[in-house]
């Protein structure tokens, strides 16, 4: 009952009581003084009725006042509080100032305000906590998804709560594992229950603090079909009250590992017990021959034949066992795809502190497969041995692609290393490697060998063949689009044949900077800008990969989506990068006095020329265009894109449609062109410019038709 209803009931009862009192007075007079009832009753009715009317009127006025001054404000307070609690937290209670509730409305208003603030703070805290939990959840999901081991989280009912992609691969499940499904749908039951029981006993026994494995335990189980053996660890999860509420298992497929252990046991057994019979026969025959030197030749023949047969059998069997053993020890070595420039950079950092050894990375980087750490250790030791053996202090490091292998070459000026010297080096141990491996064991783990041979006039090399990478496609390779169209500004690309002192020098003796740009679009005169520029230096017909130039540029405009699809560079990637006014002078300093080379050079050169005045510099050095040279060399075809030229010259394409990647491919194409140009009578820079100009003039004539 509300306050207003309560007051109404009270005053109705009071009014009824007044009327009842008057009626009771009339009845009382009638019984006590019957003879005077007539006159007295009239008086009682008149005066009592009047008094009752006055009392009822007073009660009504009092009720109206209390209703207006107290009951209605209280009802308004109640309604306002309910509105704040259930409907609108920002609602402000409004009460007429004529109330007689004193400071209660203000106190309620202050209380509601504080409640709103508290609720806002709680909401903010919840939102912030939820956001942090979401971030942590995403981080955890990312970490779990990228783990090499399979991970599955289960509750105590063995229902799957979380898993990663690797778990699907190891369990050989297509699609999804299925949340809330039983783990025992995919694995056998008892090993999991046994490991969980061990961990639960540690909780009950309260000795987990001193247990060396804490709340984790190893297990070995199998998939339900029995085809794969899984080995891993189980870790118990505890709630706030230190009671177990689930577990995490991480595991790997050790089927092949266990099989290889079995094979190693068999090989060991065969290398001892399996060869005992042949060794016994060989020993018996040799003892007979040794103890009876005067035995006639016809009687010695069978024993000699036994010696020969058993020796051949032992030799062949030992070779088979050695091959099988080599397959075993190399089958589980931790190898991965490696980019040769990363491998060589690690090696160069090692050699940087050597005062008497200098190494330069050359050539086009290649993807290969191996163990980066042991390969760096191997190459480092071989380089030091070559330096001590021949007194050589300068080396080139180059990766070369072949049909079946990627070749790592260490090149120096001098003679090759003899096979005997190289073979003696392979017995040396690498102190820092796993198990102090020898150089030969590192080669065996990679199923390869190393040899020394002449490289070119006056130079030699060590060559190490390795398998190519298992996964070579990069994100930008998969985003490859068609090449940009040929671009001609005939005034830009048509050059003077007289190039000063450089003009008469042989092409192979010059220093070049092969460069490329990525842009927001294909119209430099219409506002498109450079967003990436890169270059690589060629010295003495060597691509100096370690001296490359690569910068991202803030174009101060939005990069169109169609361009992003082409080169993969987004607005976020260039957001905090320096503008072209900073980058272009740096690139000009990098070029120096070198001859510039580009594919479809007029396109890139147009962007550079438009920025010359703004940046206060000039690009006035000779420029060779591999597109024009390709047309000159292979005039039988119309396919002269960078991809087509690279395919013709056998240059493997990596990082296509990145400025540095295209620069490296162009550099490889250009170096292969030099011998062909020389065969066509183009030997000097002036002759190369003249040949290019002829192609430009032909294209200019074609453009008129």
pLDDT in tens, 109-120: 888 788 778 878
Domain boundary among 294, 309, 331: 331
Domain boundary among 466, 496, 511: 466
**Do 485 and 617 belong to one domain?**
yes
Question: What pLDDT does residue 481 have?
Answer: 44
CATH code: domain of residue 667: 3.30.420.10
* Confidence check: pLDDT of 369 > 80: yes
Domain boundary among 441, 466, 491: 466
**How far from 604 is each of 325, 492, 518, CA to CA, in Å?**
56, 11, 9
* Confidence check: pLDDT of 266 > 50: yes
Beta bridge partners of 339: 367
**Do 539 and 638 belong to one domain?**
yes
**Do 357 and 505 belong to one domain?**
no
How confident is the model over 22-38, as pLDDT tens digits?
677 666 666 666 655 55
The DSSP string of 307-338 is HHHHHHHHHHHHHHHHHHHHHHHHHT---EEE
Q: Looking at residues 456-476, what average pLDDT do you find?
A: 78
Q: Total domain count for the chain?
A: 5
**Do 327 and 431 belong to one domain?**
no
E strand or H helix at 93: none
**Do 687 and 552 belong to one domain?**
yes
**Do 530 and 645 belong to one domain?**
yes
DSSP 157: T
**Do 352 and 486 belong to one domain?**
no
Write out the residue range of the structural domain in which residue 175 sits: 147-253
Question: What pLDDT does residue 395 have?
Answer: 95
**Do 535 and 659 belong to one domain?**
yes
pLDDT over 90, % of the chain: 32
Q: State yes or no: is 567 an active-site residue.
A: no
* Confidence check: pLDDT of 43 > 80: no
**Do 163 and 136 belong to one domain?**
no
Judged by average pLDDT, the poorest of 110-124, 353-367, 658-672 is: 110-124
How confident is the model over 610-654, as pLDDT tens digits?
999 999 999 989 999 999 999 999 988 888 899 889 988 888 776
How many alpha carbons fall within 13 Å on the CB side of residue 104? 15
Question: What pLDDT does residue 477 have?
Answer: 42
**Do 502 and 616 belong to one domain?**
yes
Q: Is the pTM of this model over 0.75?
A: no
pLDDT confidence tier of residue 480, bands split at 50, 70 and 90 = very low
**Do 171 and 265 belong to one domain?**
no
CATH code: domain of residue 434: 3.30.565.10
More confident site: 432 or 670: 670
CA-derived radius of gyration, the chain: 47
Question: What pLDDT does residue 499 have?
Answer: 61
Question: What pLDDT does residue 451 have?
Answer: 94
**Do 157 and 246 belong to one domain?**
yes
Question: What whole-number distance in Å separates Cα of residue 625 and Cα of residue 622?
Answer: 10
Beta bridge partners of 536: 514
Widest Cα–Cα separation across the chain: 181
* Confidence check: pLDDT of 521 > 50: yes
Catalytic residue among 158, 446, 567, 657: 657
Q: Which of 108-117, 465-474, 673-682 has the highest mean pLDDT?
A: 673-682
Q: What is the mean pLDDT of the chain?
A: 81
pLDDT over 70, % of the chain: 79
- Determine whether 349 is exposed, middle or buried from the number of CB atoms within 10 Å of its CB (0-12, 13-18, 19+): exposed
CATH code: domain of residue 314: 1.10.287
Question: What whole-number distance in Å separates Cα of residue 268 and Cα of residue 284?
Answer: 24
* Confidence check: pLDDT of 485 > 60: no
* Confidence check: pLDDT of 312 > 50: yes
**How far from 529 is each of 515, 579, 609, CA to CA, in Å?**
16, 10, 12
């Amino acid at each position: 009952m509300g306050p207003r209803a309560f007051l109404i009931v009270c005053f109705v009862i009071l009014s009824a009581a007044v009327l009842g009192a008057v009626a009771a007075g009339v009845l009382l007079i009638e019984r006590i003084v019957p003879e005077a009832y007539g006159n007295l009753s009239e008086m009682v009715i008149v005066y009592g009725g009047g008094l009752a009317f006055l009392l009822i009127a007073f009660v009504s006025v009092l009720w109206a006042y209390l209703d207006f001054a107290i009951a209605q404000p209280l009802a308004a307070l109640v309604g306002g509080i309910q509105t704040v609690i259930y409907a609108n937290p920002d609602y402000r209670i409004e009460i007429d100032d004529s109330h007689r509730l004193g400071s209660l409305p203000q106190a309620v208003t202050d209380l509601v305000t504080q409640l709103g603030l508290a609720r806002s703070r709680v909401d903010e805290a919840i939102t912030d906590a939820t956001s942090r939990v979401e971030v942590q959840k995403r981080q955890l999901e990312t970490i779990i998804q990228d783990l090499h081991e399979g991970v599955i989280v289960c509750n105590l009912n063995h229902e799957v709560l979380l898993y990663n992609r690797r778990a699907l691969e190891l369990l050989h499940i297509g699609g999804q594992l299925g949340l809330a499904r039983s783990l025992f749908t995919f694995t056998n039951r008892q090993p999991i229950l046994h490991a969980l029981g061990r961990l639960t006993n540690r909780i009950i026994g309260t000795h987990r603090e001193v247990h060396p494995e804490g709340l984790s335990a190893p297990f070995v189980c199998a998939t339900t079909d029995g085809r794969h053996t899984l080995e891993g660890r189980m870790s118990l999860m505890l709630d706030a009250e230190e009671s177990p509420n689930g577990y995490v298992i991480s595991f790997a497929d050790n089927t092949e590992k266990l099989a290889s252990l079995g094979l190693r046991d068999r090989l060991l057994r065969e290398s001892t017990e399996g060869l005992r019979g042949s060794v016994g026969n060989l020993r018996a025959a040799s003892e007979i021959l040794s103890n009876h030197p005067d035995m006639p030749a016809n009687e010695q023949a069978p024993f000699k034949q036994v010696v020969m047969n058993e020796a051949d059998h032992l030799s062949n069997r030992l070779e088979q066992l050695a091959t099988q053993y080599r397959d075993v020890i190399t089958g589980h070595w931790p190898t991965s795809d490696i980019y040769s420039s990363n491998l060589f950079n690690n090696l160069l950092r090692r050699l940087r502190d050597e005062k008497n050894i200098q190494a330069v990375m050359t050539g086009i980087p290649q993807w290969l497969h191996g163990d980066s750490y042991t390969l760096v250790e191997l190459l480092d030791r071989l380089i030091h041995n070559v330096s001590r053996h021949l007194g050589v202090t300068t080396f080139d490091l180059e990766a070369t692609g072949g049909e079946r292998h990627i070749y790592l070459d260490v090149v120096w000026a001098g003679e090759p290393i003899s096979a005997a010297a190289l073979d003696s080096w392979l017995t040396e141990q690498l102190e820092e490697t796993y198990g102090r491996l020898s150089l030969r064991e590192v080669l065996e783990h990679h199923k390869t060998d190393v040899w020394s041979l002449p490289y070119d006039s006056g130079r030699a090399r060590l060559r190490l063949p390795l398998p190519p990478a298992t996964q070579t496609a990069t994100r930008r390779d998969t985003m490859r689009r068609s090449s940009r169209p040929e671009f001609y500004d005939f005034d830009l690309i048509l050059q003077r044949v007289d190039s000063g002192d450089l003009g008469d020098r042989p092409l192979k003796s010059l220093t070049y900077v092969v460069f490329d740009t990525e842009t927001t679009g294909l119209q430099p005169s219409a506002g498109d800008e450079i967003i990436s520029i890169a270059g690589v230096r060629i010295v003495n017909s060597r691509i100096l990969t370690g001296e490359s130039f690569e910068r991202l540029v803030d174009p101060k405009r939005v990069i169109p989506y169609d361009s992003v699809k082409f080169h993969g560079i987004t607005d976020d990637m260039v957001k905090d990068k320096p503008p072209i006014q900073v980058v272009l002078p740096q690139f000009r300093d990098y070029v120096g006095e070198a001859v510039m080379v580009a594919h479809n050079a007029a396109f890139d050169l147009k962007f550079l020329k438009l920025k010359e005045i703004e940046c206060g510099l000039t690009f006035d050095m000779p420029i060779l265009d591999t597109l024009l040279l390709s047309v000159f060399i292979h005039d039988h075809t119309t396919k002269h894109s960078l991809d087509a030229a690279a395919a013709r010259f056998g240059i493997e394409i990596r990082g296509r449609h990145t400025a540095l990647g295209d620069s490296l491919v162009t550099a490889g194409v250009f170096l292969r062109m030099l011998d062909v140009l020389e065969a066509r009578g183009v030997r000097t820079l002036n002759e190369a410019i003249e040949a290019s100009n002829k192609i430009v003039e032909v294209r200019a004539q074609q453009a008129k038709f």
